[in-house]
Structure 1
């Protein structure tokens, strides 16, 4: 998993509440078990018109936000079904950080497992970041996970909280498999001792 330490990038404003996982990645795209290739269908029903062409009014289709790496959005982001394809699609598009007043629990947990930093902030602070994001591509934010701060394009700094264990995992690029591999020497020692003491197992 890619490490997350400090990110400076374009923030896209999506001022909507209750964006569910079916809006993030519709059910017809859930057939794959690959984590790559889903970015093109991120927010598919809002992003494309009925004829398959891009909806020019959708934020991620606007030239200023096509390369957004940060998403500033409304409360209860990621509600609905528990599909892990939702963070897969977000990450595959290129978004590494989502900022909102609140997240659905399963989606929130899945973000950390897939290298995405979900940041929970009070609505008034999200409003500040939303206005900054609305300035376009020249208004770049910096998300510093080590310092636990977000700095706006104007230099205003907002602090956020994050669980220490999840922070450690993100900063070191550790998903569940990576955490297990950290214990590889101890596992190998145990297996060697077990093979000697219990050869019949």
Structure 2
């Protein structure tokens, strides 16, 4: 998993509440078990019309936000089903950080497991960043995970809280598999002892 340390990028404003996982990646795209290739269908039903043509007014179809790496959204982001395809689609599009007042728990935890930083902030601070995002490509937001800060293009610094263990995993690029491999020596020692004690197993 890619390490997350610092990020400076364009933020796309999505001022909607209760954005559920079916809005993020509709059910017809859940047949794959690959983490790649889903970005093109991120927010599919809002992004394309019935003929598959882009809807020009949708934020990610606007030239200023096609390469957005940050998404600023409303409360209860990622609610609905627990599909892991939702963070897969967000990451595959190129978004590495989501900022919102609140998240559904499963989606929030899935983000960390897929190298995405979900930042929860009070509504008034999200409003500041939403206004910043609405400025377009000329306004870049800077995120420093180690310092736990979000800095606007005007230099305003906003601090955020994060679980220390989740922070460590993102900084080091550790998903569940990588965390397990950190314990390989202990696992090997246990298996050797177990094999010696019960050779018939």
How far the C-alpha of 1:190 sits from its partner, in A, is 1.4
2:197 aligns with: 197
How far the C-alpha of 1:143 sits from its partner, in A, is 0.8
- Number of corresponding residues: 201
Per mean C-alpha deviation after superposition, the further-off stretch among 65-74 and 186-195 is 186-195
1:32 aligns with: 32
1:183 aligns with: 183
**SS at 1:60 equivalent:** helix
1:89 aligns with: 89
Q: Distance in 1 between matches of 2:36 and 2:144?
A: 26
Within 5 Å, give how 1:64-83 maps onto structure 2: 64-83=64-83
Q: Any unmatched runs of 5+ in structure 1? A: none
Q: Distance in 2 between matches of 1:20 and 1:189?
A: 44
Per mean C-alpha deviation after superposition, the further-off stretch among 92-101 and 190-199 is 190-199
1:62 aligns with: 62
CA-atom RMSD in angstroms:
0.7
Q: Distance in 2 between matches of 1:196 and 1:33?
A: 39
How far the C-alpha of 1:195 sits from its partner, in A, is 2.0
**Cα deviation digits, residues 33-64 of structure 1 (max 9, x gap):** 11100000000000001111100000000000
Q: Distance in 2 between matches of 1:197 and 1:100?
A: 53
**SS at 1:143 equivalent:** strand
Q: Distance in 2 between matches of 1:63 and 1:194?
A: 60
Q: Any unmatched runs of 5+ in structure 2? A: none
2:100 aligns with: 100
> Given the two structures, how large is their TM-score scaled by the length of structure 1?
0.99
